[in-house]
């Protein structure tokens, strides 16, 4: 738990975008983190947050609305913990500059996810991979560091398959995604392209799903992450849903489970012990629905305050061993909420010593 008497000052980079706004909503009233700074591009810097951001959902607290948006440099943004919702076009350089300057960066961008010394973490699934952070800091001579969370569609898949992998060892996955428009940020996909339509392509999404899953379900041996040996074939589709990525999965295993055995394992799973009880941890992390027509984003996306993954339709598969459908909130579980939970786990396990900033 958070043993420090005071709340940690935190900043959000890319605070004006879809994920940045989710950070601001989720940090409102957070027991351990105090949002003190917001930053975005030069287009927004110098403006009040109220004027710079087109606020999308719910009330905007006056104390945040009145903050002046800063430029994304460690000379301007002083908080020791920095949540990054930056576009990948800029995240690489900016996040490294913050880490070098002694800040802990919790990144949503793709840039560092597959770098060997950077933890790629879904806390309930592989919270122990955060141990790589100490090696990263030593190796790079950084007082700070970078921790990433996964692509939002990969997050759904990894959460649903982690319990099954632990018990039956996943060997191959065929995944078809139906991804919400909010996954493309704001303003994102033009309405005339997506209303009443399905777009069978999301730039760069399939390679992310196909590579990140092995790292997430891999093993941290104290020195490195040994990726799980899983072959993934992904089809990524954009659908006219506001929030919630749904994924249909056909899965092959080293030890073939019956649907009943798989359901028993999914229902019993509680994930990494150290995560339970953290402020943003959903309880349970997985919700298993028996109805033939669930999960559905409209009905299930806000389970566990947007942090739970809903699973249904677990049944035998004619192609591989098992089929199932999984869904979670792409902006909360798959982005801002996932980063905040990573930070909570780092605080509660005392892994933040030596950070700089004020």
What residue ranges bind ligand NAP (CB under 6 A)?
14-20, 40-41, 43-44, 72, 85-88, 90-91, 108-109, 152, 182-183, 185-186, 330-331, 334-335
Integer Cα distance of 319 and 148 in angstroms:
33
Closest approach, Cβ 121 to ligand NAP, in A, equals 14
- Which residues neighbour 35 within 8 Å (Cβ) at sequence distance 6 or greater? 10, 11, 12, 23, 24, 27, 28, 64
The residue (of 136 and 148) whose beta carbon lies closer to ligand NAP is 148
Task: Give buried/exposed letters for 95-131 (b at 16+ CB in 10 A, else e).
Answer: bbbbbebbbbbbbbbbbbbbeebbbbbbbbbbbbbbb
Query: Considering beta carbons, is residue 70 or 129 the nearer one to ligand NAP?
Result: 70
Whether residue 152 contacts residue 183, with contact meaning beta carbons closer than 8 Å, is answered with yes
Residue 321: strand, helix, or coil:
coil
Using the minimum distance from each CB to ligand NAP, give the nearer residue, 120 or 262. 120
Beta strand residue intervals within the chain, DSSP E: 8-13, 33-40, 70-71, 81-84, 104-107, 145-148, 170-179, 219-220, 225-226, 231-238, 245-253, 286-288, 309-316, 322-328
Check: CB of residue 79 under 8 Å from CB of residue 144: no
Residues annotated as catalytic are 152, 245
For the bound state, the minimum distance from the C-beta of residue 198 to ligand NAP, rounded and expressed in Å, comes to 18
| Least Cβ distance, residue 155 to ligand NAP (angstroms) | 8
Residue 167 or 243: the one with the smaller Cβ distance to ligand NAP is 243
Residue nearest to ligand NAP (CB): 17
For ligand NAP, the closer of residues 33 and 112 by Cβ is 112
Distance in Å, CB of 224 to ligand NAP, minimum: 25
Of the candidates 328, 350, 323, the one whose C-alpha atom is nearest the C-alpha of residue 125 is 328
Nearest to 154 by CA among 108, 198, 195, 187: 108
- Rounded least distance, CB 117 to ligand NAP, Å: 20
158 token code pair: 């990894």
| Side-chain half-sphere exposure of 30, counting CA atoms within 13 A | 26
Q: For residues 165 and 333, which CB has a smaller minimum distance to ligand NAP in the complex?
A: 333
Cα 255 off chain centre by: 29
Q: How far is the CB of 104 from ligand NAP (least distance, A)?
A: 17
């Amino acid at each position: 738990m958070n043993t420090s008497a005071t709340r940690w000052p935190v900043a959000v980079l890319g605070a004006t975008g879809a994920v940045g706004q989710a950070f601001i909503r989720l940090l409102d009233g957070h027991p351990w983190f105090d949002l003190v700074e917001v930053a975005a591009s030069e287009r927004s810097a110098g403006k009040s947050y109220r004027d710079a951001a087109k606020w999308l959902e719910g009330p905007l607290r006056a104390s945040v609305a009145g903050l002046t948006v800063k430029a994304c440099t460690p000379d301007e943004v002083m908080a020791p913990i920095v949540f990054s919702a930056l576009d990948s076009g800029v995240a690489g350089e900016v996040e490294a500059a913050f880490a070098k300057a002694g800040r802990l960066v919790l990144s949503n961008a793709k840039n560092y996810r597959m770098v060997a010394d950077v933890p790629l973490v879904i806390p309930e699934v592989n919270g122990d991979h955060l141990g790589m952070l100490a090696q990263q800091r030593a190796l790079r001579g950084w007082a700070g560091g970078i921790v990433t969370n996964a692509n939002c569609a990969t997050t759904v898949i990894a959460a649903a398959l982690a319990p099954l992998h632990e018990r039956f060892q996943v060997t191959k996955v065929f995944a078809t995604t139906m991804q919400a428009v909010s996954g493309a940020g704001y303003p994102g996909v033009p309405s005339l392209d997506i209303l009443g339509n399905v777009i069978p392509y999301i730039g760069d999404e399939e390679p992310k799903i196909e590579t990140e899953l092995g790292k997430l379900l891999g093993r941290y041996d104290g020195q490195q992450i040994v990726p799980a040996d899983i072959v993934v074939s992904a089809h990524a589709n954009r659908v006219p849903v506001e929030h919630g990525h749904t994924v249909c999965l056909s899965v092959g295993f080293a030890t073939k489970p019956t649907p009943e055995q798989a359901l028993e394992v999914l229902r019993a799973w509680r994930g990494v012990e150290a995560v339970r009880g953290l402020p943003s941890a959903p309880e349970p992390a997985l919700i298993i629905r028996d109805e033939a027509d669930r999960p559905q984003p409209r009905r299930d996306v806000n389970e566990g305050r947007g942090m739970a993954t809903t699973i249904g339709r677990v049944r035998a598969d004619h192609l591989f061993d098992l089929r199932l459908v999984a869904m979670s909130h792409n902006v909360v579980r798959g982005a801002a909420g996932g980063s905040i939970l990573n930070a909570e786990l780092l605080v509660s396990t005392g892994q933040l010593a030596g950070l700089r900033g004020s």
